[in-house]
Amino acid sequence: MNSFEISNVWHPYARVPNEVPTHLVKSAKGVYLTLENNHKVIDGMSSWWSVIHGYSNPIINSAMKSQIDSMSHVMFGGLTHQGAIDVCKKLVNITPKGLNKVFLSDSGSVAVEVALKIAIQYWHNKNHNSKTRFVTPRGGYHGDTFGAMSVCDPVNGMHEIFSGVLPQHFFVKRPTKGNSEAALNDLESTLKVNHNSIAAMILEPIVQGAGGMNIYDKDYLVGVRKICSQYNILLIVDEIATGFGRTGKLFGCEHANISPDILCLGKALTGGYMSMAATLTNDDVAQNVGVLMHGPTFMGNPLACSAANASIEVLLNSKWESNIKRIEQILSNELMPLQSIKSVKEVRIIGAIGVVEMKNNINMKDAQDKLIDMGVWLRPYGKLLYTMPPFVTKDDELYKITSAMKTVVSNL
């Protein structure tokens, strides 16, 4: 490791000086990362779930090279450009019915911040000034900025030390496989008493991501949509991790055939090339919000838009549905048998997501070192060892990922 890197560079969820070694990447192509010692590893994480087409996709590369020659950035206040118009059109066309107003931003956390602000402005402009709080299932994760932190799990999340300064919201029973009715009953009980102070419910559909890789039933989403409408609560769905095919549907909402009032997108929006996000709403929300009090400097960045437009086209023109089914089948066949190991609590699979939850915490450094030796890049956390590979990962590469996971799990 570089001495300056160890002493001076702050990494996510880490301290400086670094205690856990980082690995210098020299290049990336397809599903492979080449480390500084020329050791190649398969990226089973899609660089935090975003690089769905693999690295150095020629179509996205070409689109960005062309764009940078005309302009890499222009402010979105009072100006526009064709790339932004095109990406907004694409998002309106492919997202759930009714979501036809698009606010572009530069990260998933900001997309959530925008959604929360939209909900509060909506009710303020309808003269319901008391509706300023939010309700969300326990176990959720929506980002690291202050508004987003306030709707993350308050106990088991990563932001407990900030609880004294965060806005206080309502947390309801976490949905899990088979408990939809109990979780919905808890939600309805909370709304029955508190709906006059609640602006919106926010959740991750089908899969709670960084909060624990929890997969739940579509019945919960169906019930949530009905209850939110019944109690005059907006529904915000955070598809930053689940959007663009990851769960086997283009968007997680589609498992339950519901449409939220507000939708947050990010991560795979640009195929992992650039940081970009979007918040979509329906006509009713947009008309009542009016002037939205938010305006990121890099909103609608042309270079990011070129990547997003190309990435969406690559996805839609591919056999992504059959690819996800193929990945899901291999992950199921290879990982589900691990449930028989005593140290394993549960194995969960959906789409291109494979999760092994252990009964005890995993030593991340030791596990990661073993995985790298076996030619695989994964990043365990807490009790979880999981993979969310690029959609272009071939069968033999998937077997290499699952083999490495099985080896690590068997030795824990």
Tokens of 111: 């997309």
Q: What is the pLDDT of residues 50-105, one digit of tens each?
A: 999 999 999 999 999 999 999 999 999 999 999 999 999 999 999 999 999 999 99
13 a catalytic residue: yes
Q: What is the pLDDT of residue 1?
A: 65
The pair of structure tokens assigned to 411 is 């030795």
Ramachandran class of 245: left when φ > 0, alpha when ψ lies in -120 to 50, beta otherwise: left
pLDDT the model gives residue 207: 98
Query: What residue spans define the domains of the chain?
Result: 3-56+320-410, 61-316
Which residues, given as ranges, of the chain have pLDDT below 50? Answer: none
Residue 163: predicted pLDDT: 83
Q: Can you list the positions of beta strands (E) in 46-112?
A: 101-105
pTM of structure? 0.97
Tell me how long the chain is. Answer: 412
Q: Which homologous superfamily does the CATH classification assign to the domain defined by 3-56+320-410?
A: Aspartate Aminotransferase, domain 1 (3.90.1150.10)
**pLDDT one-digit tens code per residue, 98-136:** 999 999 999 999 999 999 999 999 999 999 999 999 999
Q: Which residue, 329, 327, 356, 326, is CA-closest to 343?
A: 356
C-alpha closest to that of 122 among 288, 280, 263: 288
Catalytic residue among 131, 267, 383, 400: 267
Q: Decide if domain 61-316 falls under CATH 3.40.50.1820.
A: no
Q: What is the largest CA-CA distance in the chain?
A: 62
Q: Strand locations in 40-162, DSSP E?
A: 40-43, 101-105, 133-137
Determine the pLDDT at residue 201.
98
- d(CA 33, CA 55) in angstroms, rounded, equals 9
Supply the DSSP string of 171-207, one letter for each residue.
EEPPP-TT-HHHHHHHHHHHHHHHGGGEEEEEE-SSE
Q: Residue 306 is encoded by which pair of tokens?
A: 């070129």
Q: Are 66 and 306 in contact (CB under 8 A)?
A: yes
Annotated catalytic residue within 43, 153, 217, 238: 238
Position 154 scores a pLDDT of 87
Q: Which residue has the tokens 């010692």?
A: 37
> How remote is the C-alpha of 120 from its chain's centroid?
23
Two domains, one topology: 3-56+320-410 and 61-316: no
Location of structure tokens 């991790």: 241
How far apart (Å, rounded) are the C-alpha atoms in residues 89 and 101?
A: 9
Q: What's the pLDDT score for residue 291? A: 96
Give which of 393, 353, 314, 342 is closest to 59, Cα–Cα: 314
Question: Is there a catalytic annotation at residue 366?
Answer: no
Question: What pLDDT does residue 184 have?
Answer: 98
Q: Are 355 and 402 in contact (CB under 8 A)?
A: no
| Amino acid (1-letter code) at residue 325 | K
Query: Which is the catalytic residue, given 122, 141, 216, 231?
Result: 141
